[in-house]
Amino acid sequence: MYCPQCGKEYAERVNFCCHCGTALATPVPVPRKKLMRSRKDHKIAGVCGGFAEYLGLDSTLVRIIWLTMTVFAGSGVLGYVIAWVVMPEEPLSQAAMDAPGSVVPQPAGNR
Ligand SMILES: [Zn+2]
C-alpha cells in the first residue's frame, strides 16, 4: 500500500504513515463486547474475570486492584456485590466457544 500524501510504500498493512502521519487504513470495527460475568475465569462470581475479559487485562490484575480497593477504600465489597447483581452471566454457548482447544470453524474464502 502507498501513502496518498507522501507516496511512501509499505509492505505490510499499517494504520498510519510513519513519515506524514496520514491514516492509511480505517481500523476494522471490532464487535462490541458486552460486560458479562465470566463462566470460565471466576473465583467467586466471575465479576473480576468478566471485567478482565472486557478490558483485555489479566484477571489476576483486576482481582489485585479490586482487593486493593476493598482494603484501602472500603468500596470493593459493595462494588463487587453490585456488579454481581447488575452484570449478566456469560451465555453457556460463548463460554464453550472461548474454551481453549475449541476450533471455531472459519467461513471458506474469507481471506
Ligand atoms: Zn505519508
C-alpha 20 – ligand 1 centre gap (Å): 4
Residue 69: pLDDT over 60: yes
Residue 111: pLDDT over 80: no
Q: Are 89 and 41 in contact (CB under 8 A)?
A: no
C-alpha 10 – ligand 1 centre gap (Å): 10
C-alpha 28 – ligand 1 centre gap (Å): 20
| pLDDT tens, residue by residue, 8-62 | 888 888 888 889 988 887 666 767 778 788 878 777 888 888 888 888 888 888 8
C-alpha 11 – ligand 1 centre gap (Å): 14
Residues near 101 by beta carbon (within 8 Å), at least 6 away in sequence: none
C-alpha 15 – ligand 1 centre gap (Å): 11
Which residue carries 496518498 as its cell? Answer: 4
- Residue spans per domain, the chain: 1-29, 47-98
C-alpha 76 – ligand 1 centre gap (Å): 48
